[in-house]
Structure formats: structure tokens, C-alpha cells
Amino acid sequence: MNHALLATIQQSDGRYLSDLELRPLAQFVASFDSRVKTYTRLKAEGETLVLSALRQLMLTHQSAVQEHGTKCQRDMLYSLDCIAKAILLDNSDGFVEEYVVWMQNITRALHKEDSAIAAYRSLQTEIAATLPAEGAHLVNGYLDKLIAAFAEGM
């Protein structure tokens, strides 16, 4: 569950939550079906999405894909897995704290920011073309955070 909701529940010791404090829970419940469907689609179609994105990336970054394609595929699949879990739990803060900062540091250390940005933008395009609009919006919002972190490292 997201941090704001958990913090509110933990701070309510000995009293009932107010309507305002219950709002994040209501939003969590209202969006649950969409988040589960998006999680399920990513689980089922993640590999196909990544391979399609890498095929598109070959058009502009052929040498990088030929040299690092296997690692890139692995990393992109892991990214989708982390995004799927963050979507399911409605935990964008945890995604940034636990994953984005880590990926940013690795990418920066390897000086691969440009190719990572291109790869994840390609993945965003595939997601927008494949997933329903609501799911694509959810996933691409997380990818925006990852791409922004790569761009800051340049």
C-alpha cells in the first residue's frame, strides 16, 4: 500500500479516521481493478513489449543493442516488474526511492544515460500502442520518472 495511507493508519492509534483521512483508502480501492488489470497485462506481455521496444531501438541505436541487447532486455524486464508491483501497491514513492535512484546510479556510472533514455522511450511507445489507455497512462507515468532520473544524470 502507498506510504501516505499507511502513515495515516499508523497515526490513528486510539481513534477512528476522519473522512479526509479515509480519502486515500477510497482512492486506493476505487483504482484497484485498473491497477490489477495493468499488473496482469505487464506480467503477461512484458517480454513481448520489451522485445518490440528493442527492435524499434535497433533502428537508431543498432550498435548499442547488438552489444548490450541481452543486458538491456534483462534490465527493462526488471523495470517492468518493479513498475507492475508499484502500480499494484499504488506506491510511486517507493518505486522512486527503491528502484529509480538505484538505476540512475548504475546508468550514470556506466555513462549509458542516452541509450537508456532512448530504450525506455521506445518502451513507452510500445506500451501506449499495446495497453489500454488507462493502463498505458499508469505505466508510462512510472517510466517518465525513470527517464527523468536518467536525464538528470547527464
Contact in structure between 54 and 122 (CB atoms under 8 Å): yes
The rounded percent of the chain whose pLDDT value lies above 90 is 77
Cell 499495446 sits at which residue?
A: 130
Domains recognised in the chain with CATH numbers: 1-30 (no CATH), 32-152 (1.10.490.20)
CA distance 119 to 147: 9
CA distance 143 to 154: 17
Whole-structure pTM value: 0.89
Q: What is the pLDDT of residue 6?
A: 78
Confidence of residue 154 (pLDDT cuts 50, 70, 90): very low
pLDDT digits (tens, 9 = 90+) for 76-111: 999 999 999 999 999 999 999 999 999 999 999 999
Provide the H-helix boundaries in the chain. Answer: 3-10, 19-30, 32-58, 62-89, 92-95, 101-110, 113-130, 133-152
Give the mean pLDDT of 112-123: 95
pLDDT digits (tens, 9 = 90+) for 126-142: 999 999 999 999 999 99
